[in-house]
Amino acid sequence: MSLAQIEAELERLSAEELHRLALQSWSAYQKKEGGAPHECHEDDSELLAALDAAAAAADAAPGVGSTADEVRAQLRQWTSR
């Protein structure tokens, strides 16, 4: 499956499925980057709240995006708590 196909499918996922995908993606990223192990759990209330806040912010400003560096900085802030 190509990245474009995966991105096209995102709109069809429920909020719960998106949360699970985000957690799995973050774990895979950490593993590939060889960084410090960071366990992601689907019931991590802080991470889920951060994902909800990010989704709400994105919904509030359609057509406005963030750079990859801005996203990385925000993820560092969320995961350092």
Q: How far apart are CA 61 and CA 46, in angstroms?
A: 23
What pLDDT, in 10s, does the model give residues 35-45?
Answer: 665 566 767 77
Task: Using a pLDDT cut of 90, give the percent of the chain over it.
Answer: 0
Residue spans of the domains in the chain: they are 14-79
Tokens of 57: 């912010």
pTM for the whole thing? Answer: 0.41
Highest mean pLDDT: which of 19-23, 27-31, 51-55? Answer: 19-23
